[in-house]
Amino acid sequence: MASTQKSYHTKATGAALATAEKHAASNSLTLYGSCFCPFVQRVWIALEAKDMEYQYVEVDPYKKPESLLAVNPRGLVPALRHGDWGCYESTVLMEYLEDLNGMRLLPKHPRGRATSRLWADHINRHIVPQFYRVLQAQETDKQAEHAVELKTQIEKLVDAADANGPFFMGADLGFVDVQIAPWILRLRRVLGPYRGWPDPEPGTRWAKWVDALEGNEHVKATTSTDELYLDSYERYAENRPNTSQVANAVNSGRGLP
């Protein structure tokens, strides 16, 4: 990494900082997180949406403090300590919170629960890794190729969503929304500036979903200012685009529905 490049932040900013400060007091339920990490944001949104009491502890996963290693021997965030027990992996932690707390993100009906888990799996297998492929590709042709594949995978998710929305299962924020929200936020804040990812077409189901997530109080409460994300991903992204090749490739043919 060139010495002039910015590094990741070690403290949240904006609304996320206010939420972190509100949850600074010691609690038997503790989230070890890092302000830039989208996997952490999943668990953080779930804690907020469920209105749970918890402590938020900012840690640097690249320095791996003992407090983090004690919960997650791999030293990755998010990690959750609950009393004398701890666990990690963002999707597993969301399931754990689901089992603990009355306010559910998963629907009641077994079929709705299975459908939510199916699409959460799609996000983890096909959308999250593809997001990083777009970001890490340095040649414009490769960026465009990966961006089209990312659009295809997002399109499958949008096609499976409730027709009216605005959220995946309908009127309320649910499990699939929380799973994808951190990466949807980073499309505009990171893939836009670094790769030319286009904003949603107004009036589409996709635009309605993005707007609903951006406007959700729990998503907003765990989101830092745009600059934090821009700085945090600079070391992966390196160059900003000087062409509109990615936007043209994503918008050509069928755009996001």
Residues 14-43 that bind ligand GSH (CB under 6 A): 34, 37, 39
- Closer to ligand GSH by CB, 79 or 219: give it: 79
How many residues of this chain interact with ligand GSH, rule: CB under 6 A?
Answer: 12
Nearest approach, Cβ of residue 245 and ligand GSH (Å): 28
| Cβ 124 to ligand GSH shortest distance, Å | 7
Determine the residue type at 192: G
* CA pair distance 57, 215, nearest whole angstrom: 25
What distances in angstroms separate CA 119 from CA 47, 71, 114, 153, 250, one per listed residue?
A: 21, 28, 9, 11, 22
The yes or no reply on residue 106 touching ligand GSH (CB under 6 A) is no
Considering only 35, 77, 105, 237, the residue that binds ligand GSH (CB under 6 A) is 77
CB of 75 to ligand GSH, least distance (A): 6
Least CB distance from residue 126 to ligand GSH, whole Å?
A: 15
* Among 90, 179, 216, 232, contact with ligand GSH (rule: CB under 6 A): 90
Binding region for ligand GSH (CB under 6 A) out of 20-28, 71-79, 169-177, 236-244: 71-79
Angle at 160 between CA 159 and CA 163, to 5 degrees: 75
Alpha carbon distance 220, 209 (integer Å): 15
Residues between 154 and 183 with contacts to ligand GSH, criterion CB under 6 A:
none
Strand ranges (E), 44-186 = 55-58, 79-82, 85-88
In whole angstroms, the minimum distance from the beta carbon of 243 to ligand GSH comes to: 29
128 neighbors 37 (Cβ within 8 angstroms): no
Handedness of CA 177, 179, 182, 184 (dihedral sign): negative
